[in-house]
Amino acid sequence: MAETPKFTPRVFSGIQPSGSLTLGNYLGAMTKFVDWQNRGTHETIFCMVDLHAITVPQAPDTLRHNTRELCAGFLASGIDPEKSILINQSRVPEHAQLGWIFNCVARMGWMGRMTQWKDKSGKNAEAASLGLFAYPALMAADILLYKSTHVPVGEDQKQHIELTRDIAAKFNHDYDVDFFPMTAPVIEGAATRIMSLKDGTKKMSKSDPVEASRINLTDDADAIAKKFKKAKTDPDPLPGTPEGLEGRPDARNLVNIYAALAETSVADVLAANEGKMFGYFKQDLADLAVSKLSPVSTEMARLMKDPAEIDRVLARGSERAREISVPVLEQVYDIIGMVR
Ligand code: AQP
């Protein structure tokens, strides 16, 4: 007889409402989330991580708007709030409570080694918020609060999932329990790292101050075409094989985006476009992007006309989430010796 797994197969992942969703978030995260949901092999929980967003300054009205718009993005991309639990982090207080406990489990040295901390704090780490430094401990809490077994993410988040495992292992060891799972990062598919349209060595980000560096899901067809037209490339035509993209990060990025949108391989895209100049390829890419993204952005705009309905979806999601999170946190409090 097959052994019953100790942990319920459960997927958790989140996106920060720190700006408008980018093509990077969509291809690297959102489409994968929808896949997981529709596979039906795991429970799925998706989160708008608003507490993470305030680790850097956010104007309150903008944050509110971005959180609702992100929720609209989840729904428009195919997340079904009946099949998946859809929440915003601040509405499930156990995230912050477990986050505090993990602040006391994680070590300063671990946090100081995080690449995202180094990138985002930059040269002025003294002025960065304590929250930005502690971010990965809260992220570990987001994941482990639901004893999640799998976390689909883009390449940039791999280090944080490894840290989540370190925190789980230290907690289990320190308290001599087998309470938290060793969560697995799932980094799969063609679009694990979509790069800036202005610099093929830098990740496409919602908070990049250069608007032309990214495609947003709220961009209209015109804006998408213009951004691809002005995307950085090199003067050479497209090669016939992936090896021909060596040392050409901007060219590689555009081909990679095309392959991800067309749900095909880079090799197939190159075989079909060998010798084409980027001026023409960018036009094809823009047409493909518009055809794939416009149904999503149209649906997002429709959903945003009824913010009360979005709030109801999130309220219902948090009720369902708390059916899991409240007992888990109670057990954690018991394990660590809090009088209840
Ligand atoms: N460029 C990208 N390519 C592939 N995947 C990406 N992700 C983000 N950018 C890319 C994936 O999207 C998910 C949500 O990310 P996030 O919003 O929590 O934070 P982030 O990774 O820091 O994303 P941004 O867009 O760069 O936000 P800001 O600018 O606020 O920091 C994650 O799974 C991430 O891997």
Answer whether residue 195 is part of any domain. Answer: no
Answer whether residue 322 is part of any domain. Answer: yes
Are 259 and 323 part of one and the same domain? no
For a pocket test of ligand 1, which of 16, 20, 116 has the largest count of ligand atoms closer than 8 A to its C-beta?
Answer: 16
Enter the tokens of residue 117.
């901390």
Q: Say what the pLDDT of residue 222 is.
A: 95
Q: Say what the pLDDT of residue 207 is.
A: 87
Are 271 and 320 part of one and the same domain? no
Answer whether residue 44 is part of any domain. Answer: yes
Q: How many residues does the chain have?
A: 340
Q: Which residues of the chain have pLDDT under 50?
A: none
> What's 216's domain CATH number?
1.10.240.10
Are 73 and 117 part of one and the same domain? yes
Are 178 and 55 part of one and the same domain? yes
CA torsion sign for 87, 88, 92, 97 is positive
Answer whether residue 267 is part of any domain. Answer: yes
| Nearest alpha carbon, ligand 1 atom 25 | 205
Short-list 12, 321, 54, 323, CA closest to 140: 12
Query: Does the predicted TM-score (pTM) go above 0.75?
Result: yes
Tell me if 16 CB under 6 Å of ligand 1: yes
Are 248 and 332 part of one and the same domain? no
- Domain containing 128 equals 10-186+306-336
Q: Say what the pLDDT of residue 156 is.
A: 87
Q: For residues 101 and 137, what is the distance between their CA atoms, to the nearest angstrom?
A: 9
Are 274 and 331 part of one and the same domain? no
Q: Say what the pLDDT of residue 192 is.
A: 84
Identify whether the C-beta of residue 159 lies closer than 8 Å to the C-beta of residue 115: yes
- Give me the amino acid identity at 40: G
Q: Say what the pLDDT of residue 117 is.
A: 96
| Nearest alpha carbon, ligand 1 atom 15 | 15
Binding-site residues for ATP: 16-18, 24-25, 154-156, 194, 203-207
Are 123 and 19 part of one and the same domain? yes
Are 118 and 255 part of one and the same domain? no
Answer whether residue 79 is part of any domain. Answer: yes
Are 329 and 271 part of one and the same domain? no
Q: How far apart, in Å, are the Cα atoms of 260 and each of 35, 115, 151, 230, 288?
A: 14, 26, 20, 20, 11
Q: Tell me how crowded residue 309 is: count the other CB atoms within 10 A of its CB.
A: 14
pLDDT digits (tens, 9 = 90+) for 139-150: 999 999 999 999
Binding-site residues for L-tryptophan: 142
pLDDT digits (tens, 9 = 90+) for 51-69: 999 999 999 999 999 999 9
Q: For residues 269 and 170, what is the distance between their CA atoms, to the nearest angstrom?
A: 46
Are 261 and 181 part of one and the same domain? no
Number of domains in the chain: 2
3 state DSSP class of 279: helix
Q: For residues 269 and 190, what is the distance between their CA atoms, to the nearest angstrom?
A: 12
Answer whether residue 261 is part of any domain. Answer: yes
The number of the ligand 1 atom at minimal distance from the alpha carbon of 53 is 30
Tell me if 204 CB under 6 Å of ligand 1: yes
Are 297 and 311 part of one and the same domain? no
Pairing of β 10-15 and β 184-186: unpaired
Short-list 117, 161, 163, 131, CA closest to 12: 161
CA torsion sign for 119, 125, 129, 132 is positive
What is the 195 CA–ligand 1 centroid distance (Å)? 11
Identify whether the C-beta of residue 92 lies closer than 8 Å to the C-beta of residue 322: yes
Identify whether the C-beta of residue 20 lies closer than 8 Å to the C-beta of residue 69: yes
Are 153 and 82 part of one and the same domain? yes
Answer whether residue 315 is part of any domain. Answer: yes
Q: For residues 130 and 142, what is the distance between their CA atoms, to the nearest angstrom?
A: 18
The number of the ligand 1 atom at minimal distance from the alpha carbon of 204 is 1
Tell me if 31 CB under 6 Å of ligand 1: no
Enter the tokens of residue 318.
């948090």
